[in-house]
Amino acid sequence: MALCLVTLLPLGAQSKDWRPRKQLERENAQLRERIEHLQEEIERYRSEQSEKQRLQEELSGLYEENENKMSSALTPADYSPQKTDSLLTIWYTHRQLRDVREGSSYNMDSVHFKTDVPDSVLVRRLEDMNAFISLPYNETVKNYMILYSEKMPTRMGHILGLSSYYMPIFEEAFRRYNLPLELKYMAIIESGLNPTAVSWAGATGMWQFMYNTARLYGLKIDSYVDERLDPIRSADAAARYLRDAYRVFGDWPLAISAYNCGSGNVNKAIRRAGGSRDFWNIYQYLPRETRGYVPAMVGAMYACQYAKEYKLEPSPVQLPHYVDTFHVRQNLHFLQLTEVIGMPLNEIRDMNPQYYKDIVPGKDGEQILCLPHKYTAAFMDLEDSIYRYKAAEMFSGVEVDKYRNETTGPSVSSRKSSSSGGGTKIYTVRKGDTLGGIARKHHVTVKQLKSWNKLKSDNIRIGQKLKIQR
């Protein structure tokens, strides 16, 4: 009996742990699958971290440039001479410039606005906006909501008028990269939706791109084209910049702040806040100009969405509602369009501000031409005739300046200038000139202009002679 027990116990123990071979193979296969999945996750994580590091290095490389942009004052209408008779320019100079001080006299760090709208209503409206930016209702956000909705009705009327034309362009760009559409309101804070805005530091266009940043994101800038002035392509570049900034910070308020002041400043604020990536925790450590940037964007978004409640009416703007785009592969002068299909020169310039010398350099590479819908049929029917019309005269070199001067005033190259030796030329300041505009036209920086001419401020006067190094 004892012998039997000794024999049975190990058999019983063995049968308890025994499993069929197929079950073991299945379990092994499942374990291998889990291990492979974990390895893939680890590899994906490493790849993401590497990409974040690369993007952060690139964005940090733009730190100094964006910092200059951040601290620069926007010149509301710093236009090239070619646009001084543009309908859109006239609209800006006679409306927006007239009200440039509206809303700009407040110190938003200390002001405390009062409103007849109860806090409970403001909170509910803020929540109903269902914005991608999660901002708590506080005094800062409230001040900017009141500022844009109640304190500058004329300026908001202008912005609402322009929004009907430009906002669909921005929405298309942000949809292309699967980004929140509310980012479109950044253009209001950047430039007031002015496509030809230029700051004294050289930040240009609706999205206020500095030169190096624009080139990094593929915007073309040469003697004939400045795509920072192109609403379509500059919005696309802004979307890609914001996408990259979001990949680095993983937070939209921080990514938006980085667009304004550079990722270097945002990283510095994060370090000073003990590593926190919450916007309000790093708020006090951000540059003064950037602190209100995100709340201001929310304020502008609020005013646009609740315009009817505040009786804000869009101002009429001389821009067509329906526009067609064409791919141009030959050189095209705006005068050819004017003289062949009868489209007013001012309208062509308004639709295509990036071609600041009235020439579409199609031979240098495919370019985009925007035309109001009512002229598209004529352009398509007469396209070959348009390209041939006076082509020899208009693109013969010397004649380019002639045609440019006949329609827009003296070009830079034809203005009276004298050499002062060593590749230096003299530029005579004209009415409406600013240092930022002169620097952009000559592809130099404001700092260089001030250094060459020993200027202690940005003030210049009509008739003043400025040295410009070639």
Question: Per residue in 26-53, pLDDT tens?
Answer: 888 888 888 887 877 777 776 666 666 6
Across all residues in the chain, what is the average pLDDT?
80
- Given a contact cutoff of 8 angstroms between Cβ atoms, the answer to whether 75 and 100 are in contact is no
Whole-number pLDDT of residue 352: 93
Percent of the chain topping pLDDT 90: 47
Residues 325 and 369: their CA atoms lie apart, in Å, by 6
State which H helix or E strand residue 328 sits in.
strand 323-328
Q: Is the pLDDT of residue 235 over 70?
A: yes
Q: Is the pLDDT of residue 421 over 80?
A: no
134-148, 178-192, 318-332, 406-420: which range is least confident on average? Answer: 406-420
CATH number (1.10.530.10, 3.40.30.10, 3.40.50.1950, 1.10.10.10) of 60-99+106-310 reads 1.10.530.10
- Given a contact cutoff of 8 angstroms between Cβ atoms, the answer to whether 261 and 289 are in contact is yes
Domain ranges of the chain: 60-99+106-310, 323-409, 415-469
Output phi, psi for 360, to 5 deg: -95, 105
- Given a contact cutoff of 8 angstroms between Cβ atoms, the answer to whether 262 and 64 are in contact is yes
Residues 14 and 18: their CA atoms lie apart, in Å, by 6
Whole-number pLDDT of residue 1: 45
Whole-number pLDDT of residue 312: 95
Question: Residue 276 CB: number of other CB atoms within 10 A?
Answer: 14
Residues 157 and 143: their CA atoms lie apart, in Å, by 19
- CATH dotted code for 415-469: 3.10.350.10
Of residues 91 and 140, which shows the higher confidence score?
Answer: 140
8-17, 148-157, 374-383, 461-470: which range is least confident on average? Answer: 8-17
The residue type found at 219 is: L
- What residues are paired with 424 via a beta bridge? 469
203 DSSP assignment: -
Q: Is the pLDDT of residue 86 over 50?
A: no
60-99+106-310 matches 415-469 in fold: no
Of residues 238 and 356, which shows the higher confidence score?
Answer: 238
Mean pLDDT of the region 168-175: 95
Highest-scoring range by mean pLDDT, 53-62, 183-192, 287-296, 440-449: 183-192
Question: Residue 374 CB: number of other CB atoms within 10 A?
Answer: 11
Question: Per residue in 359-373, pLDDT tens?
Answer: 999 988 899 999 999
Whole-number pLDDT of residue 270: 95
Of residues 319 and 120, which shows the higher confidence score?
Answer: 120
Of residues 266 and 317, which shows the higher confidence score?
Answer: 266
Q: Is the pLDDT of residue 236 over 80?
A: yes
Mean pLDDT of the region 344-356: 90
22-36, 62-76, 334-348, 411-425: which range is least confident on average? Answer: 411-425
CA nearest neighbour of 284 among 148, 109, 65: 109
Mean pLDDT of the region 187-207: 88
Residues 139 and 113: their CA atoms lie apart, in Å, by 9
Residues 168 and 221: their CA atoms lie apart, in Å, by 25
Of residues 418 and 33, which shows the higher confidence score?
Answer: 33
Mean pLDDT of the region 53-73: 53
Question: Per residue in 250-268, pLDDT tens?
Answer: 999 999 999 998 888 999 9
Whole-number pLDDT of residue 54: 59
Whole-number pLDDT of residue 237: 96
Q: How confident is the model at residue 299 (pLDDT cuts 50, 70, 90)?
A: very high
Whole-number pLDDT of residue 120: 95
- What residues are paired with 371 via a beta bridge? 324
Is the pTM for the entire model greater than 0.85?
no
Residues 369 and 376: their CA atoms lie apart, in Å, by 11
Residue 460 CA to its chain's centroid (Å) = 29
Question: Per residue in 381-392, pLDDT tens?
Answer: 999 999 999 998
Whole-number pLDDT of residue 53: 61
CA nearest neighbour of 340 among 366, 305, 375, 299: 375
Tell me the three state secondary structure of residue 397. Answer: coil
Whole-number pLDDT of residue 459: 83
Whole-number pLDDT of residue 47: 64
Q: Is the pLDDT of residue 327 over 80?
A: yes
Q: Is the pLDDT of residue 415 over 70?
A: no
- What residues are paired with 425 via a beta bridge? 419, 468
Of residues 11 and 28, which shows the higher confidence score?
Answer: 28
CA nearest neighbour of 133 among 252, 254, 290, 284: 252
